[in-house]
A and B are shown apart, each in its own frame.
Chain A
Amino acid sequence: MYYQPYLKAEALEHYLGDPHSEKTTFSYENSAALDIEEAFPQEIVNELQTWGLHHYYVPVEYGGNLESYEQLLMLLRLVARRDLTVAIGHGKTYLGSVSVWVGGDQPQKMTLGQEIRNGTIVSLALTERAHGSDLLANDFDAEPNPEGFLLTGEKWLINNATRGDMLTVFARTDVKGGARGYSVFLVDKNQLGEDAYTCLNKVKTHGIKGADISGIQIHKTLIAPDTLVGKLGHGLDIVLKSLQITRTLCASLSLGAADNALRLTYQFAITRELYDQKLRDIPHTRRVLLQSFSDLLIAEVCSITSSRGIHVLTEQMSLISAVAKYFIPTSIEDMISQLGKVLGARAFLVDLFEHGRYQKLQRDHRIVALFDGNTLVNLQAIINQLKTLAKFRNKARSNQDQRLATLFDVTAQLPDFQSDKLSLTTKGQDTVLNSLYHVDQLDESSSNLVAIKQYVKTILAEIEKLDSEVLNTDWVINSIPARCFTLAQRYCLLYAAAACIQLWLFNQQHLDSKPLTGIWHDGIWLRICLERLLNKLKLPITPCANAETLFLEQLDKQYHNNMLFSLFPLKLSDYTNN
């Protein structure tokens, strides 16, 4: 079989060329140099424009190439594997435009589609200096008046605030504030007078040093009525729904960074001799590699599930996006830091080993858990739904969601995305986790499958335990007990386990392609990934050395064949160094 989204992704990868080569613009070396200079990667971004990546930010109905979010995620993943600063600096235009795709009217969408295809940079002006994630405390004003709206205020820590041509601005349209007191505007900086605004200095950041993280002050400036996106007072609704999509897409950044970190560490581990053996074969390293490769695959499964979910389970995205945005960046952050221990001193040197790639990706990646709704915001979004989810669990046992195959079978055609189905709550539905009540296809024909079946039982019992603790705990929304955060974290691990099980069940029969049968056959990858998740849950496992060996052989094979570390084959354009 071929995993469809990888066709375009591979094309992009080959267009960009070998990242190790001096002839390549988008090379590790150039990215490292730009990072040291804290300079925006303009030339690289130009290359992406030439290829037409920005067309994937515009839905097909408005003239772009965005048909599948799964596709967009995989494209951004390959950009991110080279340099997160570039992925973030370029992908920002999608973040800037999504509110319009979700809440705008037809003419706005057509105009914006045209602008983006012409290369216009769009930015999202959401956060303010004193309020961070507390959107309802924002005090950037758009005061309605007969000729339009009068903008006044400051937005800070805005990606591309200075370089951007257009901004979607989240502004207060009712001085009393509140859930209906904010609106979204699409503002063209070029149409504002020169004195109308001031771009703030680029902020010195820990990572993504080349990105334009700055801010903007707008001084009592009138904007036209047609800049309003959606209805007056519906800004919060539009932004929260839009973030459900972008939070899901953030997984691409983590997946890219994970591949980069694992590839680099593996390269080091097979070349380095320590204690008369290869570093790779030392038990500690083996353990880290095993955990890292499984972390990466689990994150991939969750990314595939969530991005397909945008199309298939649109009404559940409030939950799905929060799980993805919490779980994927944090588990990859952890993975990256474990890999750093294998690299030792080289993880710390900026200009020695492979252009200091590790320390750069490690710093860069830390922004992912922060922006677009940080870890806490996403855990809260899950916590707020835990009770309803627990209450609806019983119903789910008897009713199987008919959309499971479309969601998990990666060869199934995705339905068109319908933004009007986005909802602020999932109303107790969690197709992914609840699918575990319907895994009768799992047989016990081998020792691996017996182990997997046992793990499914363990997971189901844990769901029950978690639900009952949730139902027995009382809290109010603005004072969530700390224990709930642990429960939400555990929920995510269980959810990831369910996604792994289903993805394996629905796709194992397609896997005739040789390079991958090694770990698809007999549930090898599934077993290892479940053990990793159960280990994180501190639930009992019975690891099998043979399965671990087969799993690590696959890692070795993917590395040596210059394949993306993945459940599906994708050839990278890295040179072969073996």
Chain B
Amino acid sequence: MLVATQSIAAGGKSQQAQFEQYLGDPNDSQVALSYAKILEADEAGVITKEAEECLDKWHLNHYFVPQELGGKLSRFDTMVEVLRPVFRRDFTLGLGYGVTSFIAAVNVWLSGNQEQKQHLADILLNNEKVSVVFHELNHGNDFIHNELKAIPTANGFRLSGKKQVINNIERARAFVLFAQTSEKAGSRSHSLFLIDKKDLSPESYRYLPRYKTLGVKGCQIAGIEFQDTFANQESLLGKAGSGVENALKAFQITRCILPAMSVGVADTALRTVLKFATKRKLYNRSVADIPHARWTLVNAFLDLLIIDCLSGSMTRALHVIPEQMSVYSALMKYFVPLTIEQMLNDLSIILGARFYLREGEFGIFQKLLRDYPVVSFGHAGTAICQATIIPQLKFLARKGWSKPLEKREHLREIYQFEGNLAPFQPEKLKLTNNGKDDILGSLRSLLANASYPITDELRSFIVFFNSQLDNLIEEVDLLERNTGNNLCEPKAFDLVEKYAIIFAAASCINTYLENPHHSEPFFQSGKWLNAALQRLAQKLSPNMVVESTELEEELLYQMCERLDNGYSFTLAGSPLAG
């Protein structure tokens, strides 16, 4: 689908910087995307015209459309870089303006024919919106039991039924629909459709009332009901009956992209609280001088670096090892939102009573807190992601986790910030990993590979995480024996949690080792890596406690410097507009 020429990621960084400048300082109440206006819109439950026009003018929608169809999408890591400035400012807008359209569009890019792709591309390039019409309140993430029917007729399909909690349904020009096309039970009973509302008879469907929501209050979330609505034959995406498989493959992309974009939310949360902590005086000093507050701030920074390692590598892994993304995308969707939610909670403690206020200088924080949970259940709940992984655990344990990965060349492509990247090949996405796990396999072979400059401290972490992986293999084995092949019991969720932590550690290590020429001294020093690994190790074993006030000092200094000089808290430390 994506353009066949190789491109350079540095493009993403500079485009992000330009976009930041274009959007302006969010603390300046005059700009369209200022915190003041964002909070005002949130209270009113709207997304303002001003904000959307601002993004339209920048042609943000073009980033959702592959290059060969006239858009600007060629690599997923770049796309994430470009969208983060929106998420830094307003999650509601990010979702309501565009990402919903992208989630819908991915299904078309994956399974549509040329005509359908071009039609959708034209809609998006014209700044129109597309909706994802999947969700039925009575079935949640249980697709196979979705009830909305598309009954095949002589020249098309007859739609009947309801879909609920659908973002932008009323104002979207088109939508991607998931519907039951066959009465036969099983995974071949549903299909996907791309439907342009212009092709529907307006009397044959109606919108259901808008929902009031806790967060993303500005998003226009409502429902739609079809009553013998006729959809033509051309609206079918892919083969009839391939809906479940194709939707699951599309999820592998969005489960990486959405959490990766949402790192922008974490950045704003940390920035807001750091600002508070350096300004606010308690007990005759600034809050940032209180050890517990420093510790919380530094941990939040480390968490942000960790999930940034995951975001960068997994959005590139989509290009490099698409056949392994069923597990990796689920890990992303599980680990990143969970980490950010926990971070928001920890940071709220520093903010004290201010976090509870919907007004004033720090009022943006409670909005982040309300908006963010959408990422967790938005289009696939955390539990469901875990359920994707659990059935694969025993195969991973036997294959991917047990065999050291010999060839590492392709890892470089996954981890290098500024390298070339193979074009994305959607046909290579698979519904299971078949036991493959190159990332943890690479953790197995690291110490045998002499070409990496591994310090003693890093070596001891690598040994530690390898031994944790040994334990995990044993635990999977034990569970398998105790449950008679069916791993699905409560304990299995603890194993997924461990897996995710070791996976995150391996991702951080690889990110560091595969970017030896990165010029940033902070990155180069590798101190952040040791601290991040320490943080992850503690989640596995409470006895892994080494406190270094010196390191804490350095990290905090780094954060304050970035705050003062206007750089993001991500690995790249991108310039911000404020």
Residues of A within 8 A of B (CB): 36, 127, 130-134, 136-137, 157, 203-207, 272-276, 282-287, 290, 333, 337, 340-342, 344-352, 356, 359, 363, 366-367, 369-371, 374-376, 379, 478-483, 485-486, 537-538, 543
**Among the listed A134, A341, A481, which residue makes an inter-chain contact with B547, where contact means beta carbons less than 8 Å apart?**
A481
* B383 and A206 form a contact (CB under 8 A): no
Chain B min CB distance to A549 (Å) = 12
Q: Does B355 contact A (CB under 8 A)?
A: yes
* B356 and A283 form a contact (CB under 8 A): no
Task: Determine, out of B61-69, B122-130, B421-429, B487-495, the stretch whose residues face the partner at the interface.
Answer: B487-495
**Among the listed B43, B345, B373, which residue makes an inter-chain contact with A347, where contact means beta carbons less than 8 Å apart?**
B373
Closest-by-CB residue of B relative to A205 is B356
Closest-by-CB residue of B relative to A276 is B145
Chain B min CB distance to A23 (Å) = 25
* B282 and A131 form a contact (CB under 8 A): yes
Given A130-B281, A376-B349, decide whether A538 and B357 contact each other with a Cβ distance below 8 A: no
Please indicate the chain B residues that have their CB under 8 angstroms from the CB of A356 in the complex.
212, 214
Closest-by-CB residue of B relative to A485 is B292
Chain B min CB distance to A325 (Å) = 14
Given A341-B381, A359-B214, decide whether A478 and B283 contact each other with a Cβ distance below 8 A: yes
Closest-by-CB residue of B relative to A132 is B352
* B358 and A283 form a contact (CB under 8 A): no
Chain A min CB distance to B488 (Å) = 5
* A275 and B142 form a contact (CB under 8 A): yes
If A205-B358, A341-B383, A369-B349 are given as contacts, then 14 extra A-B residue pairs at C-beta distance below 8 Å, sorted by A number, are A130-B281, A132-B282, A134-B282, A137-B284, A203-B357, A204-B43, A206-B366, A274-B145, A290-B490, A344-B141, A345-B165, A349-B211, A352-B211, A481-B547
Please indicate the chain A residues that have their CB under 8 angstroms from the CB of B212 in the complex.
36, 349-351, 356
Please indicate the chain B residues that have their CB under 8 angstroms from the CB of A537 in the complex.
542
* B382 and A206 form a contact (CB under 8 A): no
**Among the listed B135, B215, B291, B377, which residue makes an inter-chain contact with A479, where contact means beta carbons less than 8 Å apart?**
B291
Given A132-B353, A284-B387, A287-B493, decide whether A482 and B358 contact each other with a Cβ distance below 8 A: no
Q: Which of A131, A204, A375 has the most CB of B within 10 A?
A: A204
Please indicate the chain A residues that have their CB under 8 angstroms from the CB of B141 in the complex.
274, 344
Please indicate the chain A residues that have their CB under 8 angstroms from the CB of B280 in the complex.
132
Q: List 16 A-B contacts (CB under 8 A).
A: A134-B282, A204-B43, A204-B357, A273-B145, A274-B145, A284-B490, A287-B490, A290-B490, A348-B377, A350-B213, A351-B211, A356-B214, A359-B214, A482-B295, A482-B296, A485-B292
Give Cα A204–Cα B43 distance, bound, in whole angstroms. 10
* A133 and B352 form a contact (CB under 8 A): yes
Chain B min CB distance to A162 (Å) = 17
Give Cα A337–Cα B283 distance, bound, in whole angstroms. 32
Given A134-B282, A374-B352, decide whether A348 and B488 contact each other with a Cβ distance below 8 A: no
* A344 and B349 form a contact (CB under 8 A): no
Chain B 402-436 interface residues, beta-carbon cutoff 8 Å to A: none
* B386 and A284 form a contact (CB under 8 A): yes
* A204 and B142 form a contact (CB under 8 A): no
Please indicate the chain A residues that have their CB under 8 angstroms from the CB of B142 in the complex.
274-275
Please indicate the chain B residues that have their CB under 8 angstroms from the CB of A486 in the complex.
542, 545
Chain B 283-298 interface residues, beta-carbon cutoff 8 Å to A: 283-284, 290-292, 294-296
Interface size on B, residues (CB 8 A): 61
Chain B min CB distance to A125 (Å) = 15
Please indicate the chain A residues that have their CB under 8 angstroms from the CB of B355 in the complex.
206, 370
Give Cα A481–Cα B281 distance, bound, in whole angstroms. 19
Closest-by-CB residue of A relative to B540 is A538
Give Cα A344–Cα B491 distance, bound, in whole angstroms. 21
Give Cα A101–Cα B370 distance, bound, in whole angstroms. 40
* A283 and B211 form a contact (CB under 8 A): no
* B357 and A205 form a contact (CB under 8 A): yes
Please indicate the chain B residues that have their CB under 8 angstroms from the CB of A272 in the complex.
138, 140
* B358 and A137 form a contact (CB under 8 A): no
Closest-by-CB residue of A relative to B358 is A204
* B541 and A538 form a contact (CB under 8 A): yes
* B213 and A283 form a contact (CB under 8 A): no
* B369 and A206 form a contact (CB under 8 A): yes
* B282 and A344 form a contact (CB under 8 A): no
Please indicate the chain B residues that have their CB under 8 angstroms from the CB of A367 in the complex.
356
* B140 and A348 form a contact (CB under 8 A): no
Chain A min CB distance to B250 (Å) = 20
* B291 and A349 form a contact (CB under 8 A): no
5 closest A-B pairs (Cβ-Cβ)?
A: A482-B295, A287-B490, A350-B212, A204-B358, A284-B383
Q: Does B234 contact A (CB under 8 A)?
A: no
Closest-by-CB residue of B relative to A290 is B490
Q: Does B376 contact A (CB under 8 A)?
A: yes
Given A132-B282, A482-B294, decide whether A349 and B383 contact each other with a Cβ distance below 8 A: no
**Among the listed B282, B291, B366, B542, which residue makes an inter-chain contact with A482, where contact means beta carbons less than 8 Å apart?**
B291
* A206 and B357 form a contact (CB under 8 A): yes
Chain B min CB distance to A501 (Å) = 22
Give Cα A363–Cα B356 distance, bound, in whole angstroms. 9
Please indicate the chain B residues that have their CB under 8 angstroms from the CB of A346 in the complex.
137
Closest-by-CB residue of B relative to A363 is B214
* B358 and A206 form a contact (CB under 8 A): yes
Closest-by-CB residue of A relative to B541 is A538
Q: Does B206 contact A (CB under 8 A)?
A: no
Please indicate the chain A residues that have their CB under 8 angstroms from the CB of B366 in the complex.
206
Q: Does B139 contact A (CB under 8 A)?
A: yes
Given A287-B490, A478-B283, decide whether A206 and B214 contact each other with a Cβ distance below 8 A: no
* B381 and A480 form a contact (CB under 8 A): no
Please indicate the chain B residues that have their CB under 8 angstroms from the CB of A285 in the complex.
383
* B349 and A133 form a contact (CB under 8 A): no
* B353 and A481 form a contact (CB under 8 A): no
Please indicate the chain A residues that have their CB under 8 angstroms from the CB of B214 in the complex.
347-350, 356, 359, 363
* B283 and A370 form a contact (CB under 8 A): no
Closest-by-CB residue of A relative to B382 is A341
Give Cα A345–Cα B384 distance, bound, in whole angstroms. 13
Q: Which of A132, A284, A341, A376 has the most CB of B within 10 A?
A: A284
**Among the listed B140, B294, B341, B358, which residue makes an inter-chain contact with A344, where contact means beta carbons less than 8 Å apart?**
B140
Please indicate the chain B residues that have their CB under 8 angstroms from the CB of A275 in the complex.
142, 144-145
Q: Does B359 contact A (CB under 8 A)?
A: yes
Chain B min CB distance to A553 (Å) = 16
Give Cα A478–Cα B359 distance, bound, in whole angstroms. 31
Closest-by-CB residue of A relative to B552 is A482
Q: Does B374 contact A (CB under 8 A)?
A: yes
Please indicate the chain A residues that have their CB under 8 angstroms from the CB of B492 in the complex.
283
Chain A min CB distance to B476 (Å) = 15
Closest-by-CB residue of A relative to B215 is A348
Chain B min CB distance to A476 (Å) = 10
B207-229 vs A: 1/0 string, CB under 8 Å? 00001111100000000000000
Chain B 254-295 interface residues, beta-carbon cutoff 8 Å to A: 280-284, 290-292, 294-295
Give Cα A329–Cα B526 distance, bound, in whole angstroms. 38
* A370 and B381 form a contact (CB under 8 A): no
Chain A min CB distance to B534 (Å) = 12
Chain B min CB distance to A311 (Å) = 31
Chain B min CB distance to A489 (Å) = 11
**Among the listed B139, B144, B348, B489, which residue makes an inter-chain contact with A283, where contact means beta carbons less than 8 Å apart?**
B489
Closest-by-CB residue of B relative to A342 is B383
Please indicate the chain B residues that have their CB under 8 angstroms from the CB of A282 in the complex.
383
Chain B 323-375 interface residues, beta-carbon cutoff 8 Å to A: 341, 345, 348-349, 352-353, 355-359, 366, 369-370, 373-374
Give Cα A272–Cα B141 distance, bound, in whole angstroms. 12
* B349 and A284 form a contact (CB under 8 A): no
Give Cα A481–Cα B296 distance, bound, in whole angstroms. 12
**Among the listed A273, A276, A348, which residue makes an inter-chain contact with B213, where contact means beta carbons less than 8 Å apart?**
A348
Give Cα A204–Cα B367 distance, bound, in whole angstroms. 12
Give Cα A342–Cα B489 distance, bound, in whole angstroms. 16
* B353 and A134 form a contact (CB under 8 A): no
Q: Which of A203, A283, A340, A481 has the most CB of B within 10 A?
A: A283
Chain B min CB distance to A351 (Å) = 5
Give Cα A370–Cα B366 distance, bound, in whole angstroms. 14
Please indicate the chain B residues that have their CB under 8 angstroms from the CB of A351 in the complex.
211-212
Give Cα A347–Cα B291 distance, bound, in whole angstroms. 35
